[in-house]
Amino acid sequence: MTGPAQRVTGKHAFITGAAGGLGAAIARMLARHGAKVFLTDVDELGVSALAAQINRELGTHAAWHAQQDVSDEALWQHRLAEAAEAMGGLSVLVNNAGIGSLGGVEQIELKEWRRVMSINLDSILFGCKYALPLLREQQPASIVNISSLAAFKVDPAYTAYNTSKAAVAMLTKSVAVDCAKQGIDVRCNSIHPAFIRTGIVAPFFAALGEEEATRKLTRGIPMHRLGEPDDVAYAVLYLASDESRYVTAAELVIDGGACAV
């Protein structure tokens, strides 16, 4: 039996977009609860600093890092192989990296549409596709895809973002059912946060100021506040651990009640 601080001991987790925001909170959370973590991001300095910080805090080698653009298919295969080599296998994949993009249907250019799809959606396909052979080797295993409340609630100013995140939810279910039907214990779930205070919402605060941005972002949220990165990290901890062993193809909404109204 493991103690409360050891919920993912023995797990080997690969986390994308881990230099800041939700990815960094997820990395810290999993490592503090016993997992080994391999952190990637386009921001190499950022993941390098976080890995060093985690190793210092825990007093052991629990974190590794590497530069990765998640839209680069070939690089996925290299990074996953390096991670498995460093950690002794792979049992958790957290597809977290993603970007926002402003533009309604009549404004968005195809080039931008494709950029958003390649970073927010293609990356999830590459991650799942190339991680599965490794995850099969370390069952029970878990894939957690960070989607968004935007998968269910439309903001017409964010056409590409909404569409990419809705597709992530369906891709997640497809992977989950595929694994279940093959009889392999690799679960796959998506997480759908409302607004969390990270770099991705920084432009709102820069443009509108603290008070007005907070008012606008929390308008449809019954709890009347933004979420914290750890609200999402705790959900990932649950889905990465064997506590969620009967949960697959699920959409876990973390939104202060927004979906209900």
Ligand X SMILES: NC(=O)c1ccc[n+]([C@@H]2O[C@H](COP(=O)([O-])OP(=O)(O)OC[C@H]3O[C@@H](n4cnc5c(N)ncnc54)[C@H](O)[C@@H]3O)[C@@H](O)[C@H]2O)c1
Query: Contact with ligand X (CB under 6 A): which of 16, 163, 189, 241?
Result: 16
Query: Contact with ligand X (CB under 6 A): which of 6, 49, 69, 173?
Result: 69
| Token pair in block for residue 12 | 């080997």
Pairing of strands 141-146, 92-95: parallel
Residue 257, phi-psi category: left (phi > 0), alpha (psi -120 to 50), beta (remainder): left
Query: Contact with ligand X (CB under 6 A): which of 58, 75, 86, 99?
Result: 99
Among this protein's residues, is 161 annotated catalytic? yes
Residues 6+ apart with CB under 8 A from 115: 99, 101
Q: Any alpha helices (H) in the chain, and if so which ranges?
A: 21-32, 44-58, 73-87, 110-117, 123-137, 159-182, 202-208, 210-217, 229-240
Q: Does 94 help bind ligand X (rule: CB under 6 A)?
A: no
| Token pair in block for residue 216 | 């606008």
Per-residue binding letters, 202-241, with ligand X (x by CB under 6 A): ----------------------------------------
Stretch that binds ligand X, among 15-23, 30-38, 54-62, 237-245 (CB under 6 A): 15-23
Instruction: Give helix then strand counts, H and E, for the chain.
Output: 9, 7
What's the residue count for the chain?
Answer: 261
Of 143-202, binders to ligand X (CB under 6 A) are 146, 148, 193, 195-196, 198-201
Q: Does 119 help bind ligand X (rule: CB under 6 A)?
A: yes
Size of the site for ligand X (CB under 6 A): 28
Interface positions with ligand X (CB under 6 A): 16-17, 19-23, 41-43, 68-71, 96-99, 119, 146, 148, 193, 195-196, 198-201
- Catalytic (active-site) positions: 161
